[in-house]
Structures are given as structure tokens and as C-alpha cells.
Chain A
């Protein structure tokens, strides 16, 4: 059959995933030196100081909340869910990119995920911590949080299983657990590398304990691969389930603007959208500061930008459907809700969100914009803002103007809302800075698999990269 001369076409050679000239040793050196030998950059110290300050703001705000109660936030019936729930949904959404990158892209054999998965997973973990905090703080009596779990007790109180809020408890706690396991299991071989390379007794001990006796034998690797794939399989449905359950928090109720069947897929797409935006927001400065341009390459940023565009379009589709159906359905309440969004008291938020989430990402169609790093960074930040506004419009807009005009209320957050929100960013950044400083932020052993074959050692001792994952 094949009478044509066969030749590799230049159009099929993708941009490299790793800069030229690297072999096994230099990859390991470059990444582990950030943890072990490099002097802590001044920008790290400055950034950590700011993040830590914000964390203290959070502590103060929470302290005050515990003393005085949720009344210090701007919530008032009918707007019982204000900034706290907006922040919850925003943070959970951000968490999703990490799991998508590490689990789904792994199962899809997308090699390019390798250099971003570690810190995307870390980001997931830290974002889930921030997210989980808000519903608990919102409880009113947060110290009774364990009432959310179904446990036999003398009060004969049992959670209402028909409520999606209870589903949330399970969804989010499962998600946090699996994400932690996945991240930690992925870290083990690299922790062993750091252990072996560190010169100081203390770090040898600490990393040694964390590495759980990893020796890198063939049996270790075999079990490791199996465990990692299984965890990826477990984590995959969680990418979808968590935010679907979060969307049920709203859609199961019959409030106009909440009760919409498209919510589950639209929330999931929105979550991945904001998650990738956050990965870009963080990875662009990090690769600059630590000189990791050879590992987090142009192609990585380009791929992430494409995913940003695709998920942004699905989110846009959600907006279009919501608006169209409000008019098509003929329901006066739905129509009123959309009109209130567009022209009511929160119209500024609405149009800002449309600009950030629907208009701005359209620039990503252009290759020029996708390869402009500053442009990409600005877009990613705008998307983060847009996704926060989207949740604000959904949560507050619908509650503030529901069926009964006598119940209408003009809500706005207080300084304590702002302090808690900004403080949660502080918590996130503090954890992130600690991670960047004390753990290998890029998976060393997985990155070695991207080293071109001619640079790989031939001795059998170090040929792990030739074993297919």
C-alpha cells in the first residue's frame, strides 16, 4: 500500500518540553538546588512577609468572628450567603486545575503536564484548605462543625441527607484527602533525592522521614507506578463530582438564577477555567524568579492558555443558555432575575464579569497573545477576578431579589468580609511560599523522562526513564 516515501514531516515536531542541553544530572541539580543550596531569593523573603502579614489579618478577622459571630459580616436575611460562600466556591474552583493536570492529563498521556503538575497539585491542596474554611466559619458556631458528620450521638441528631450541603461535606473532605494522598505519593521519590543530596544532618533526617524509606529499587518503582495510576483513577471523578455538588448547593433550590439544569457542567467548566487561570498567575512569576524557563516552557503556557480558552467558551455557553432560557421559558421570575442582573443594583458586577470571562479570553484565539507572557498573565488575573464576580452575581444577586419584593435587600460585604477574603489569600500564599522553598516544586524524576534519549545514561542503574509509565 505505502508506495509514498515515508518521512517525518517538520510540521509534526512539537515545540520542546524542556530546554536544550539538559541531562539527568543537570535536571536534578537545577530543581533540588532551589531547596538545598541556592540562597533564598530576596523576592521570596519579601513575598513571604506580605503573605504572612495577610495570614495574620485572617487570624485577626477569624478571632473577631469567633468573639462576635457572623453578624460582623454583611449578611442579613434574605442574603444569608454573602462573601463567605462566594469565596468558598471561588477557592474550590481554583483547586480543580491541580487535579485535572495531575490525574486526567496523566491518564491522557499528556507529557507536558510533568513540569507543572507538582505545584498545581500543591495549589489544589492549599486552595481546598482555604475553601473548606469558609463554610465552617459561616456556621455561626464553628466549634460544632463535627455535627455535619453523621455520627451516633445522644442528641439523636442526624444530618439531612437530602440537602446538598451535606453532600458538600463528603465531597470536599474526600477531595482534600485524595488530593493530599496524590500529592504526597507523587513527592516520595523526589523527597528521597533531596534526602540523598542534602548535606545537613537536620534536613537529612526530616526529608528521610518524609521519604518513607524510599530506595528506588525496581520493586519500589513498580508499586509506586501502580499506586500512582490508581490514585489518578480515583482523583479523576473527583474533578467533576466536587464542583457538581457545589453547583447543587444552588441548583437544587428553587431560587430564580440558581435553579438551572446547566449548573453542574457549567460550574465544573468554570472551576477548571479559574483553576488554570490561577496556575498561570502563579507559574509565570515563579518561572521567572527561579529561572525555570527551560522547564516551564512556552509550550506549557500555550497549552494552558488553550485550555483556558476552551473552558472559558463553555462558561460563556452557560451564560448564553441562562439568558436565553429566562426569556424562552416565559417565567416572569426568571426574566426578572436576568433583567435585574443586567440593569439592577449589581449590574456593574455583572458586566464586569461578562467582560472578564467572556470578552477577555477571546484574545487567546491569537497565537501572538498566547505567546506574550505579560499579556497572558494579565488575562489570567482578569479571569480570576471575573470568576469571583460570577459567583458574587449568582449568590448575592439571586438572594437579594427573589420572589417577594417586600423581602428585597441591598447587600454589600463589610470590612470584615474583605479582611477574611484577603486573609485567605494570605493563607494560600504563605503555604505556597513555604512549598516553593522547602519541597521540589517540579517533579524531578518525571521531568527526567522528558530528557531526550541521547542524553540519557546507558547504565542500567538509572534507566527508570525508559520504563513507560
Chain B
């Protein structure tokens, strides 16, 4: 019981600190927004998309676990659930983007649209009212799903009714399909439309995989930290980390596969509507980012995760996952910022302040949600079975 309370106070401490740090960083950004609004919105969009990715990714992994089962999800389920709750924070934090639409998107500036026949052609889709409607639909869908997944899970804790497991499963099957579509279109709306002349059919899938990768590496890092505490250690074993490691490896490979597939096709097509996307992302210093991503987002974690030892040791796996999370951060930056800072690679202090600000509030909310419920869904029949097996072993 002792370590349980210390975990509780630990989470409280994290919550408070994250909240303070986040608020201060956002305040600084607010000041930056006054002096250099364009730069602020560029940085803020990046921060928003990165943290939003973890919330969405966690919800998707959660549904995947409900759908297909497996021991790997038992330990991280509460982490995923708490992360899916942060969608509420993201809803509030979406407001600055609404305010800065004109700073970010060419299609949201009437004067630009007036002079560009191409933008006029696309205005059936890329226009402000329709954008707002779509964003509202996405958020409603995501929040409803997050709400139900959490509510039923809490109900399972209370009543232990076996039917709930099935109900969560039936919710998750269609949920994955619905998320697949909404996340795709959200990625198109929020990020791809920064370059309205460019399009790529694999884009949505690229985002989904990236977000799941962020989510997995995030929860693995948290699980590594928690695994040192007593109650949580009961549901983690080298095998569960091994499974999570394999899942991480799969998504690292999938990420690289999608990135390379798009590159080969666009590069060999070499068409004037398509190739500028890569030209912008390799010119003026951005090319170094590509190198970093190729080596540290794919090659290094790929080789490390092939090792059984790395996957079975919580600490080693946690370190790799942390690296992947950092790389996801850089990858998100590389996907967004070259569209807005076309001439030269450039990092603003607000890129960090924004990410810390949004992230601080996100983590505070996450910690608050995490400490509200037991860290393990004890009444889930699969947890019972797992504990029984462990006891026998």
C-alpha cells in the first residue's frame, strides 16, 4: 500500500509542475504572439498537431487492444484511456488555431483566393465554414468515443460484468474505421492544406501510423517509469514489454515503408505539382533533418528493436521508445514547418515554448486522469487470467 500512496503523491507532483510549466510557457507564447503573430501560429500548429497525435494515437491503440485482445495491452490500458481523455484539453487548445486561420492557411485568405484560380477550384472543400464544420464533426466523434471507452471501462471496474468486455469490443471495431477516416481528413485539413497545391493519397495513412507510433512510444516510456512501482509491476512482465517492443518495431517499419513509398512514387514521377513538397523539405538545411530522420527514426531503432534483450528489459525498451518519441517530434516538425518556412531551415524559440506549453497542460491533465482510477483494470477478466498465469509461473 505504501508504494501506492507514493505513486499517488508522485502523480500529484507531476500534475502540479506540468501545469505550472505549461502555463508559463503558454504565457510566454502569448507575448510572442503579440510581437510576431505569424511565427507564433506556425509554432503553435506544430505543438498542437504533435500532442494531438498522442491523444488520437492512444485512443486508436486502445481500440485496437479491445478489438484483438492480447496481454500487451493490459498494463498500458489505463495509460491509453487517460491519454484519450486529454482530447478535452486539445479541444480547448484548438481555439488559437481558429483565431490564426488566416495566418496559417492560404485558402483562408480571401485576397489570395481571389487571385488564384487553383485555390478557387479547391474552394468547394477548402473554405472556412466547411473547415469549421468538419473540425466540429471530428471532435464530436473523437470525444464521444473517448467518453464511451472510459465510461464503460470504469463501469467494468465497478461491476466486473463480463458483458462489458464484449461491448467495448463491438464499439472498437467500427471505431477503428471511423477514426481511420476522421484522422485522415483531419490531417488533410490541418496539415496537408498548408500547401494547397499539393496532394498525396497516402498522406492520411502516414499520419495515422505516425500518431500510433507517438502513442506507443509515449505509453512505453510511462510504463517503464511505472513498472518500478509495486502495484503496476504486477501486470508487467518481460513478456509484456517484449510484445510492446515488437509492436513498436512493427510501426517503426511501417512508418519507414510509407515514407519511402511516397518518396519513390513522387520522385520518379517528378511532376511539377508534386515534387516541390520534397524540394522544400530538402533545401536550405532541411535536408539534414531528413538524414537525422532516416538514421534515428528508422535505422537505429530498427536495429535495436531486433534484439530480444532490448525488448525484454523495461529500461532499454523505454530508452528506445523515448528516442522514437523525440524523432516523431522532429518528424512532425519536418512535415509542417517547411511549408511555412520555405526558404531556410529555421527554429524559433516559440517552437519549444509552444510544445512545452501545450505539452505541460496535456501532461497535467493526463496525470490527473491517471490518478483518478486504479492503474490496472482489475476486474477485466483478461487481467484476472494474466495474474493467475503469473502466479502459476
Contact = CB atoms under 8 A, between A and B. Distances in A.
B388 A6 contact: yes
A1 B204 contact: no
B228 interface: no
B385 interface: yes
A320 interface: yes
Contacts of B152: none
Contacts of A11: 162, 165-166, 381
B388 to A, nearest CB: 5
Contact of A254 (B125, B201, B261, B269): B269
A166 interface: no
B257 A262 contact: no
Contact of B122 (A248, A322, A328): A328
A318 B184 CA distance: 12
B177 A313 contact: yes
Contact of B385 (A4, A9, A162, A260): A9
A321 B201 contact: yes
Interface string A259-283: 1111111000000000000000000
A155 interface: no
Interface string A2-24: 10101111111000000000000
A12 B387 CA distance: 14
A8 B385 contact: yes
B257 A264 contact: yes
B382 A12 contact: yes
A317 interface: yes
B268 interface: yes
Contacts of B122: 328, 330
A262 B385 contact: no
A331 interface: yes
A240 interface: yes
Nearest to A233: B306
Interface in B18-37: none
A254 B270 CA distance: 9
B100 interface: no
Contacts of A212: none
A313 B173 CA distance: 11
Contacts of A317: 180-181, 184, 205
A251 to B, nearest CB: 5
A181 interface: no
B201 A261 contact: yes
A69 B376 CA distance: 69
A261 B202 contact: yes
Contacts of A365: 173-174
A391 B284 CA distance: 42
B165 A4 contact: no
Given A252-B269, A261-B202, 5 more contacts: A240-B257, A253-B269, A261-B266, A263-B201, A330-B197
Which 4 A-B pairs give the minimum distances between C-beta atoms? Answer: A9-B381, A262-B201, A261-B202, A264-B261
5 contacts: A9-B385, A11-B166, A12-B385, A261-B201, A264-B257
